[in-house]
Amino acid sequence: MQVSLLTILREWGRIGCVGFGGPPAHIALLRDLCVRRRRWLSEQDFEDAIAACNLLPGPASTQLAIYCAWRLRGRIGALAGGVAFIVPGLAAIIALAALFLAAAPPHWVLGAGAGAGSAVAAVAVRAGWSLVPASWARAAATSRLRWIAYAAAGGAAAATVGQWLVLVLLACGAVELVLQGSAPKVSPLVLAATPAMGGLLALAWVAFKVGALSYGGGFVIIPLMQSDAVGHYHWMTSAQFLNAVALGQVTPGPVVQTVAVVGYAARGLGGALLAALVAFAPSFAFILVGGGRFDRVRRDERARAFLDGAGPAAIGAIVGAAVPLARALHESWQFAVLAGAAVALLVLRRGIVTTLLAAGAAGVAAALAGAPLPH
């Protein structure tokens, strides 16, 4: 039975509107739709798709959404489902970017952004730590020392030299390939070298790195985006970048959509759309070109070996991203908000969206009380 494009647009668009909470929420919603309610895919098909998407760089839950639509209606279905899944969150985050990055936003808006931005370092720790148990369990007993080394390398790179993070991730994957008896086909230096460029080309390159070279989810690319957007190209301030990360968390859809805020800061609406287009293009390409080869990808020993190295490094990088994110805070009350968010997320296990909204409310209260705000 062929599923209509209208059905795909409606169902994937619904998930795009209500998909708060990141990849776990997206996977649960897709499983409920495709396996349990409509029975379009078997449980084994769905699990195999998750495994294959996790072996690819880029936002895995977005790739899963595109792949499920591809299974139902081929390439046109993949395009329709992917766009319907992405557009609601993208529209929301661009609208919020226009508000938060305005030349003279209201005082309470600045407070909300400063408050929510204060919590994102704790969100990074929570996001990374949640990936540790499954990754550690997959590591063979003989390779757990290497797992620790890769995680430490990723964490150190994210904390200190964010612009070289992609190189570190690829190098860890390449080392594990060699140790497991395979050789990398592509030199990591070719993929990770940052050319000297400016303007729209620079924005497109940053977005490409976000979409094509991010192993372990969108948060792993935060240090690289921060280094490029704040340090190298000066498209936004540290406070504005924290706002961007927070907006990527409180809107539905993948964290990768944070790059649209960076694009808006660099070149307005056109920059936001360009950044989103370039960042998501690799995910569509992986499915449209390679969807039929997913069984081979999932069983490919080289892909698994590479991920055995790059995966732990990515987890370390996500946790390590908390260091530059915390360093971007300036006001004493922001550190108090960060401490409260850490307790809420790591001890009380509260939801990320709820915690960020509470942090934003604390920022509004601080602004209305006359507390100094970062610029």
* Pair 348, 312 in one domain: yes
The answer to whether residue 35 sits within a structural domain is yes
* Pair 128, 225 in one domain: yes
* Pair 20, 74 in one domain: yes
* Pair 79, 100 in one domain: no
The domain total for the chain is 2
The answer to whether residue 53 sits within a structural domain is yes
Q: Which of 34, 111, 20 is nearest to 69 (CA)?
A: 34
pLDDT in tens, 323-352: 999 999 989 999 999 999 999 999 999 988
Sort 193 into a burial class: Cβ within 10 Å, 0-12 / 13-18 / 19+. exposed
The answer to whether residue 310 sits within a structural domain is yes
Mean pLDDT by 10 residues, the chain (375 residues): 90 94 88 94 90 85 95 96 96 95 89 94 90 85 85 93 84 90 50 60 92 75 88 92 92 89 96 96 94 80 85 90 92 96 95 92 95 87
* Backbone CA torsion sign across 246, 254, 128, 212: negative
How many whole angstroms separate alpha carbon 211 and alpha carbon 221? Answer: 9
Domain boundary among 42, 60, 85: 85
Q: In this predicted structure, what is the pLDDT of residue 293?
A: 84
Which structural domain, as residue segments, surrounds residue 37? Answer: 5-85
What spatial distance separates the first Cα and last Cα of the chain, rounded to whole Å? 56
- Do residues 340 and 359 touch, judged by C-beta distance below 8 A? yes
The answer to whether residue 17 sits within a structural domain is yes
How many whole angstroms separate alpha carbon 283 and alpha carbon 149? Answer: 29
Domain boundary among 85, 116, 151: 85
* Pair 133, 80 in one domain: no
- DSSP H/E element including 10: helix 5-18
Q: Please give the radius of gyration of the chain, using alpha carbons only, rounded to the nearest integer.
A: 20
* Pair 44, 102 in one domain: no
The answer to whether residue 59 sits within a structural domain is yes
* Pair 180, 322 in one domain: yes
pLDDT in tens, 166-187: 889 889 989 998 988 765 444 4
The answer to whether residue 182 sits within a structural domain is yes
> pTM score, two decimals?
0.85
Q: In this predicted structure, what is the pLDDT of residue 375?
A: 72
How many residues are given for the chain? 375
How many whole angstroms separate alpha carbon 193 and alpha carbon 233? Answer: 16
Q: In this predicted structure, what is the pLDDT of residue 347?
A: 96
* Pair 150, 37 in one domain: no
Amino acid at 133: P
* Pair 22, 161 in one domain: no
Q: In this predicted structure, what is the pLDDT of residue 220?
A: 82
The answer to whether residue 27 sits within a structural domain is yes
The answer to whether residue 374 sits within a structural domain is no
* Pair 67, 102 in one domain: no
Q: Residue 195 gets which letter from DSSP?
A: -
* Pair 59, 105 in one domain: no
* Pair 80, 155 in one domain: no
- Do residues 316 and 150 touch, judged by C-beta distance below 8 A? yes
Amino acid at 135: S
Domain boundary among 30, 63, 85: 85
Q: In this predicted structure, what is the pLDDT of residue 292?
A: 84
